[in-house]
Structure 1
């Protein structure tokens, strides 16, 4: 499938930004440096990202997570639906994206500012999961607690996976989600 010029530029910006963030640190990297490395103007950068933080924090998998939760039978307990929905969504992550995700998570883990900003992104994902569970009939408190538990487990799994090269993404996610299911062995 042919990609548009916009998509190619977007991908180039992400790749050069990740390279620079890894080489010199997130805080030390400027938008001007990213734009220059990608051979575009700063204005072009801002057409793709409203801030350099969003290069790393934009999570294209949030809609898939909400869809995964929505696809679970509504008669299951909220936590079970949330766990199975997240597992379904993230186990379907294209292999080509896995290394880029690991790079993003490592950069986030290495920056206090990005870790703080990622809490906002996680809150939005948590709200989407909770809202989906509520829409399907779960009581609000139960839905919000299930969503919060799943996001906390997922965050722990991602940070551990980013630190440990031997750990695969499916194994990290599965381990964290099995813990929520009461199987920590």
Structure 2
């Protein structure tokens, strides 16, 4: 569901539960620092030229600590902090809403919950994903993951099986439509609304 200005805005943290303890806040600061430094190095010296060791050194941690937060260098850019926010928002939507209407309102709610810094980071992350050739293959794999994530959401909301033809067709259509515009248009809720409205209207041409 995930992704456009390559600014120097620091990466945003994943939103954590209110009242999180000191340990959780410290872990989140470390995670944020890792992504901040990784993104800076990717911009300054290139993705391929940046090593996990360099990212760890810049973040003042050990490589082993890096791997406790991210399984690979690629995941520093791929990790989508909007996913849990979107899932929670969709779960809260009234059952009488259609699936597209639920996704539409959930998207508006999710973006409204972001601080300006968090929103800027999501735009930066998407820009990096689509501007770094070495990440294109990873983006394709994320497309498959996105479809499965949407399938799970629809199955829970409708009570239908994850292997249901209509469920999978819906997930593929929504994911494909989003991916088709993300690389060329600014990553904003307005553009996402336009995609959903187009699908909801029956894709008139």
Shorter-chain TM-score bucket reads: 0.7 to 0.9
Contact 1:20–1:34 under 8 Å retained in 2: yes
Q: Report what 1:129 is aligned to.
A: 150
Distance in 2 between the 1:170 and 1:91 partners?
9
Unmatched runs of 5 consecutive residues or more in structure 2:
1-18
Contact 2:126–2:187 under 8 Å retained in 1: no
Distance in 2 between the 1:77 and 1:138 partners?
14
Instruction: Tell me the TM-score normalized by structure 2.
Output: 0.73
Aligned counterpart for 1:154 among listed residues 161, 178, 181: 178
1:67-125 deviation per Cα after TM superposition (whole angstroms, max 9, x unaligned):
33333343444344344434433443332211211221111112233222123233223
Aligned counterpart for 1:61 among listed residues 75, 82, 85: 82
Distance in 2 between the 1:126 and 1:92 partners?
24
Q: Report what 1:180 is aligned to.
A: 199
After TM superposition, the structure 1 stretch with the greater mean CA deviation from structure 2, 46-55 or 123-132, is: 123-132
> Which is bigger in relative contact order (C-alpha 8 A, separation at least 6)?
2
Unmatched runs of 5 consecutive residues or more in structure 1:
162-166
Aligned counterpart for 1:32 among listed residues 50, 53, 57: 53
Backbone CA RMSD of aligned residues? 2.8
- Return the structure number with greater helix share: 1
Contact 2:100–2:196 under 8 Å retained in 1: no
